[in-house]
Chain A
Amino acid sequence: MSRRRFIGGLFAGFIALIGFAGTSDARAAEDAGTFIMRMADKAVGALSNPDLSNQDRAERFRTLLREGMDISDVARRALGPYVRRATDEELNEFESLLEENIVRKYAILFKNYSGQKVELVDTKEGRRGTQNVTVLIHRNDGAPPVNVRWVVHEIDGSLKVIDIIVERVSMVTTQKEEFVSVIRRNGGQIDALLQELRERNAEMADNVKG
């Protein structure tokens, strides 16, 4: 069961986004590393104010997400082989539902952000033009640091995150298997997943109001 220790990592990944405030290490000459740090600084400025309403925090997070993440790429990979079956309309709707889902799931967590120290480890070339930015997040409670790897690619001249790998657990892979399983259980109907996401997003929006 100790494997499940990693589960919290997916959340930690998003915490990492705003965790760069304390980064003192100036080795980040690489483009992708600089990009991740710039986004992180922005996120800290925009989100870590405890007086923000949950709704405002969510909207600010959405703006950052659009700027920093290639949602379109993430969405296509998160559908697995079903992406080949999806119509353009389904894909478009899935993309916006997924964005909403990420915003709803994670925005609330920034409220409790407590300034963990983040150390940039390195930036390496990945496969097919991607860059992997690895950081360690040092937690306040003395627990071992969390290893987070950002997979970044360039699209239309700007860098975008396409996966977050926390303690070797990929956000996209995990979401993909979840989504594929939902579709499969519903006889291959992509619309069934869209419906589930719509409902779930509405539920979370209700919980977050205030």
Chain B
Amino acid sequence: MPAGLVSIASIKRLCAGIVLSVALVGCATAPTDPVEREIYDEANDPVQPLNEAIFEFNMAVDRAVLRPVAQAYEFILPDLVRDGVRNFLRHIKTPVILANDLMQGDIDRAGETMGRFIFNTVAGFGGVFDVAGEAGIEYHQEDFGQTLAVWGVEEGPYLMLPFIGPSSGRDAIGIIVDAGLDPLRWWGYNSNDYIIEHNGLIRTLTEAVDTRSRNYKQLEDLEETSLDFYATVRSLYRQQRESLIRNGVPDDDALPNIGFEGYEGIDTESDGKDTQASLVN
């Protein structure tokens, strides 16, 4: 997810905040009990108290601003217009996606990205209609966080970023690099026109509203049925990033991502049947 200039500033502030709070409160110390230790490591969330505070803040912002705006947006605009907005936002993200396709050495997907761009520019009225998608060349997302993962960089700790939402050490770096890769943002830096200058922020906000308007009911259902919304969001974020990194190709060797090791405890109890997998995914 791209960040506007403001977002970069928030990240800087966040980093400062983390350093400060770690200095003041200290990281939650890793537990010594083996079961608790395993859970602590698996959660990979050393600044959880800070993350949770930011999560609360984001939820408050969502309730007060984003959700009402998204509802109004959905109510006022016909589907066709909203689809046009989304298509166009995706269209102008092409340079960043293409750069990441190439950095991952994925020539096929780079070709798809280029093909889509040309096709939709010409036949889709400058990217407002996704004619390429309808012809079978589907949109795909790429970002530098995924590229780092493909290069073998570890995920890093889970981070909840103000306004932006769930992230990780690796993905936070990705957001900053993607901003640097975006020619429209450089155009903005060098322009005096108000809209062009702030195009990064405007795009980010529009995308947030558009996305929110599309998953309004699902999020509400999830929040209502979840016993621990923070943990649920963290789990979904990780699984979805993992899927994006693998470009949606399922890891066929893997059972459902059980994630925890040391599963032998059960096997000995379940009449010795080896039906469980302990996998490191």
Contacts and interface: CB of A to CB of B under 8 A. Distances in A.
Interface of A: 1-8, 10-11, 73, 76-77, 80-85, 105, 124, 126-130, 132, 134, 144, 147, 149, 151, 153, 155, 162-163, 165, 167-174, 176-182, 184-185, 188, 193, 196-197, 200
A77 B227 CA distance: 17
Contacts of A2: 1, 141, 211
Contacts of B254: 126-127
Contacts of A178: 226-228, 231-232, 235
Contacts of B239: 6, 168-170, 173-174
Interface string B194-236: 0000000000000110011011011101100111101110111
B192 interface: no
11 contacts: A4-B215, A4-B219, A6-B243, A73-B276, A82-B35, A105-B225, A127-B254, A155-B273, A173-B259, A178-B232, A179-B228
Interface stretch (B36-44, B110-118, B174-182): B36-44
Nearest to A151: B256
Q: Which of A7, A11, A126, A185 has the most CB of B within 10 A?
A: A7
B232 A177 contact: yes
Interface of B: 1, 33, 35-36, 38-39, 42-43, 138, 141, 165-166, 207-208, 211-212, 214-215, 217-219, 221-222, 225-228, 230-232, 234-237, 239-244, 246, 248, 250, 252-260, 262, 265-266, 270, 273-277, 279
A127 B240 contact: no
Contacts of A73: 275-276
B225 A128 contact: no
Nearest to B265: A84
A116 B250 CA distance: 23
A173 B235 contact: yes
